[in-house]
């Protein structure tokens, strides 16, 4: 692995009323600039069939600031506004390369409220962080220390729907180095009753975080639906719903971090299925449970942690019949409905747990591809 790993450290912070006002104004300006630039780029293509570069959108931003209508854009730091134009350029590049869909407009309610500051727009001194256009450092809760001697290259400030403020510091982390090689490999079959089943036979239960708070969430959502639109009571009820969602997401993320870290530390090669979660979510009977299991996030964590620590993640083709193939003799069975949780192979007589058998087949297929 060449060079140091760039890693984000996320912390909560508590802005003063003045800082919160300045940041909220910045979030609004970032969203406005992104949407204006997206609209202008779309118009340039529709009228002139002209692709627009980041430099052109940056020139537009300068012109917008000179108008009476948008003069307020100069009241916030220019760096987050430039950064959102860079993000828009990256979104178009992904669209042109067919790696993503066409960029969408940012919504005040649904889009993430955030602003990105590069090194020229903040001051870092003795562990205290002061953003551009602010007189005092932010009150950050240092829940874990930064690696000794590092300085952030980028700072991203965000506010979630529950009203919590977060600070993400991007640093080059010298503490992340490849782990000693081990001669083990494991196949991983994801599921709903068991979050993952390993080819070793171990099953790790699905905590079902959303189900645990489902009644509380349903009650809060009913209260929200009864409140008059636009009222303060509705705003408070919306925050209450968001806090429950945030609690569910925090617990889910914590569990996935612990699980993926364990798998990467203990195993040299992790073999998984290349599932299309988006297509699976079209099954309305299972969509809620699949979303709660967060299989995509599990894979994402496995892949970046494997890259950090010198491990390998292999993805097996999603059409590989791992559940219907006997891991003992290789015989393929014509049908295997989800209701069948254990079965006996008529070819060799081996008795199989459906998920353990699938995990073993996934492991064999992944090792065969290497």
Q: What is the pLDDT of residues 206-255, one digit of tens each?
A: 999 988 898 999 999 999 999 999 899 999 999 999 999 999 999 999 99
Same domain, 157 and 191: no
Does some domain include residue 210?
A: no
Of the listed 116, 210, 273, 292, which one is catalytic? 273
Of the listed 189, 210, 292, 303, which one is catalytic? 189
Q: Which two tokens stand for residue 22?
A: 């300045």
pTM for this entry: 0.85
Does some domain include residue 36?
A: yes
Q: What are phi and psi of 186, to 5 degrees?
A: -140, 140
- Mean per-residue pLDDT for 336-348? 85
Which tens digits make up the pLDDT trace of 251-293?
999 999 999 999 999 999 999 998 887 777 777 777 888 888 8
Q: Which structural domain range is residue 311 located in?
A: 178-205+257-370
Helix (H, G, I), strand (E, B) or coil at 23: helix
Helix (H, G, I), strand (E, B) or coil at 261: helix
Same domain, 145 and 191: no
Give the integer Cα–Cα distance in Å for 355 and 348: 19
Does some domain include residue 74?
A: yes
Give the integer Cα–Cα distance in Å for 231 and 234: 5
Asked about 189 being catalytic, the answer comes back as yes
Q: Is the pLDDT reported for residue 157 higher than 90?
A: yes
How remote is the C-alpha of 286 from its chain's centroid?
A: 21
Same domain, 163 and 272: no
Asked about 355 being catalytic, the answer comes back as yes
Same domain, 301 and 322: yes
Number of domains in the chain: 2
Q: Last residue of a domain, which of 125, 152, 173?
A: 173
Same domain, 292 and 271: yes
Angle CA 215–216–221, to nearest 5: 95
Crossing angle (nearest 10°) for helices 232-266 and 214-226: 150
- Mean per-residue pLDDT for 119-130? 94
Asked about 292 being catalytic, the answer comes back as no
Same domain, 110 and 191: no
Distance set, CA 122 to CA 78, 80, 130, 147 (Å) = 12, 11, 6, 19
Of the listed 116, 292, 303, 355, which one is catalytic? 355
Same domain, 166 and 315: no
Same domain, 280 and 141: no
């Amino acid at each position: 692995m060449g060079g140091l790993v760039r890693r984000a450290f996320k912390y909560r912070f508590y802005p003063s009323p003045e800082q919160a006002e300045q940041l909220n104004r910045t979030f609004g300006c970032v969203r406005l600039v992104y949407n204006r630039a997206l609209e202008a780029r779309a118009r340039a293509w529709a009228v002139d069939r002209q692709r627009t570069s980041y430099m052109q959108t940056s020139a537009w931003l300068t012109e917008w600031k000179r108008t009476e209508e948008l003069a307020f854009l100069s009241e916030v730091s220019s760096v987050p506004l430039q950064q959102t134009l860079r993000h828009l350029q990256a979104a178009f590049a992904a669209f042109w390369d067919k790696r993503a869909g066409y960029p969408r407009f940012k919504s005040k309610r649904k889009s993430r409220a955030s602003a990105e500051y590069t090194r020229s727009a903040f001051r870092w001194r003795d562990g205290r962080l002061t953003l551009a256009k602010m007189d005092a450092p932010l009150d950050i809760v240092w829940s874990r220390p930064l690696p000794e001697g590092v300085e952030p290259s980028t700072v991203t400030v965000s506010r979630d729907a529950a009203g919590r403020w977060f600070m993400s510091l991007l640093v080059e982390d010298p503490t992340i180095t490849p782990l000693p090689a081990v001669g083990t490999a494991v196949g991983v079959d994801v599921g709903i009753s068991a979050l993952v089943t390993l080819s070793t036979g171990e099953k790790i239960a699905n905590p079902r975080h959303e189900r645990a708070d489902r009644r509380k969430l349903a009650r809060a959502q009913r209260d929200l639906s009864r409140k008059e639109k636009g009222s303060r009571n509705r705003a408070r009820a919306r925050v209450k719903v968001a806090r429950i969602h945030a609690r569910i997401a925090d617990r889910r993320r914590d569990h996935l971090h612990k699980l993926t870290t364990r798998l990467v530390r203990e195993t040299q090669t992790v073999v998984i299925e290349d599932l299309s979660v988006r297509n699976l979510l079209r099954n309305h009977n299972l969509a809620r449970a699949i979303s709660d299991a967060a299989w995509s996030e599990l894979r994402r964590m496995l892949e970046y942690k494997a890259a950090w620590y010198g491990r390998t993640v292999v993805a097996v083709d999603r059409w590989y019949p791992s559940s219907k193939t006997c891991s003992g003799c290789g015989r393929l069975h014509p049908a295997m409905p989800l209701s069948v949780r254990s079965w006996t192979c008529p070819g060799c007589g081996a008795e199989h747990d459906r998920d353990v058998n699938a995990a073993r087949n996934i492991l064999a297929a992944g090792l065969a591809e290497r």
